[in-house]
Structure 1
């Protein structure tokens, strides 16, 4: 499933996706993977040349964004969820707030909201500030992507904390706050399945680094690391556990994580020496 957060404001007809995320949902095993792809990832978009991956949404809406993300990840994407700024606030407020362990303290110039590091309950405005902040955090947009995954995890956990009788109504209410090709019936079924089986959520980001090309700031892909991550994801393993052995047939599947539409340099080790990378985010204990 593709998850896209649009930064469109009122009156705007086109926008870039502020969030680009891949979700692998395995209800049979009770596992969900959330994988962020940095919004500035350097990529080729058919008919538009070298772009940042978030431009796909502006060029062709959810369908183009799904197509671009699917090619980059090397997996089919059958569903999508789209959330706008105000809708995120509505979702969180509908739930009565969410519990999040904020990795680092910051003050948001955009919203005027301050958050201290640590476990706390966020309301809609605070959750939005957390999801948007990149200037006052150590790893910039990489930190922001981490925050966005944490918010999704917290929302899912809050829904699943409801009783079996409460879940259908809660899901139906939240479904009105997002745009998706899932039916409400499908979403309720998924929630009840995970309520019954239990849920393991994995969170990761495409291994990436910042770079500048022709005066434009991009994010480059660490190709070998990305391919191995997607192979672990497909195998149902923790995507961040580099010590685990990747089983067959994933280990020999060249399509997984192939990133055939990526446009950043194929040789990237030296470029990472002085760059900000996805490893620079503050770990959450």
Structure 2
């Protein structure tokens, strides 16, 4: 499933870039969800548009364009999508009565003039939005922002699943008015009920990437080998971040997984990573 966060808002702004691009693998039988961020500036080639950042796929082709770009980049079929705008995110969080987030570092957010202290805390809608949008005052820059976005999504998922079973259908129906998705309310309720009946596991990761500038344009470029290994682990239902895990034959022989075949980024990148201004390893560690 593709999770998109657009900067299109109800205040009259017409811009529509997918500032959040997140791949979710959902396994209700095992009670497992994997959230994998794709940095918004990831260098890809888009049909008829040439070299672009992956968030431009949404501008050119809407949700279906973004699905196509991420599916090719990750090497997996994407069967569903969910899209939320800035105002929608704020409403969702407030509808839940706030969400619990373990903020990894203290910082002042330029968006909304808010300040955050490191540690586990309940955020309201405005706070969650400011936290998820900040990239200038956090470790890792835009990679740090992607980390915050996953933490907010995790908080929303956990808060929904913590609701009493009898209240779940009404809650999901109310939240659905703030998002766009191809799933019906009935589908979402059924998934949530399955997860409530399991020992829920949620993994969080990001496509291993580094900052790169070409022709005066800033990109995020994938570390191809590391990305392929991560997607093999994701597809196998393993911890995406466990680099010691043995990849099963079914995944290691699938050359599409994590191939990033639509990325023209440098295939030889060790020296580029060593000298990059930022990498995905530069974010603040999560507790």
TM-score higher than 0.5: yes
1:20-99 paired onto structure 2 within 5 Å: 20-99=21-100
Mark the runs of 5 or more structure 1 residues left unpaired by the alignment: none
Matches of 1:110 and 1:220 in 2, distance apart?
26
CA deviation string 1:130-154 (max 9, x = no partner): 0000000010011110111111111
Deviation at 1:12, TM superposition (A): 4.0
Matches of 2:13 and 2:234 in 1, distance apart?
36
Deviation at 1:274, TM superposition (A): 2.0
Deviation at 1:13, TM superposition (A): 4.1
Secondary structure of the residue aligned to 2:129 is helix
Q: TM-score when scaled to structure 2?
A: 0.98
Secondary structure of the residue aligned to 1:226 is helix
Matches of 2:237 and 2:111 in 1, distance apart?
38
CA deviation string 1:206-245 (max 9, x = no partner): 0000010011100011000000000000000000000111
Deviation at 1:14, TM superposition (A): 4.6
CA deviation string 1:145-204 (max 9, x = no partner): 011111111111111111110111111111111000000000000000000113100000
CA RMSD of aligned residues (A): 0.8
Matches of 2:33 and 2:112 in 1, distance apart?
31
2:208 is aligned to 207
Matches of 1:18 and 1:179 in 2, distance apart?
16
Secondary structure of the residue aligned to 1:154 is helix
2:283 is aligned to 281
1:3 is aligned to 3
Mark the runs of 5 or more structure 2 residues left unpaired by the alignment: none
Deviation at 1:205, TM superposition (A): 0.1
Q: TM-score when scaled to structure 1?
A: 0.98
CA 1:36–1:175 in 2, change beyond 3 Å: closer, same or farther?
Answer: same
Secondary structure of the residue aligned to 1:204 is strand
